[in-house]
Amino acid sequence: MLSVPGRRARCEGFGAVAERSGLGFGGLLRQLRVEARLTQEELAEAAGLSPRSVSDLERGIHRTAHKDTAVLLADALGLAGPVRPVFIAAARGRVPAAEVLAVPGDTGAGGCTVSCRR
């Protein structure tokens, strides 16, 4: 990796998304999906959404989600407890996506409680 003066080096690998400043909802969704060991297609099926919808959210084509879509995604990812309403708020663009990772909990990156669906 090249070092650029004045810029902080970022880690590459599994937890790299969480460490980037300015984490968007798409990056958060992808990170939670990967941690849950789901493909985009599996998440879409579990949520009752199209794979294209999940892909568009992860790629930032749609930067926010409708409330019902956010609830379906939270259900499919197994988000529970205090992280659930923060995830939904982040999906709606009401709070920064990085706040989801800061919610205290028992498991997952930054405290997110994500249950594995596989």
Residue 55, domain CATH: 1.10.260.40
Domain assignment present for residue 30? The answer is yes
| Amino acid code (one letter) for 98 | A
- Residue 29 sits in which domain range? 16-111
Confidence category of residue 3, pLDDT binned at 50, 70, 90:
very low
For residue 117, the model assigns a pLDDT of 40
- For the chain, the domain total comes to 1
Domain assignment present for residue 2? The answer is no
For residue 23, the model assigns a pLDDT of 85
Out of 40-44, 45-49, 87-91, 102-106, which region has the weakest mean confidence (pLDDT)?
102-106
Answer whether 0.75 is exceeded by the pTM. no
Q: How far apart are CA 112 and CA 82, in angstroms?
A: 9
Domain assignment present for residue 5? The answer is no
35 alpha-carbon distance from chain centroid: 9
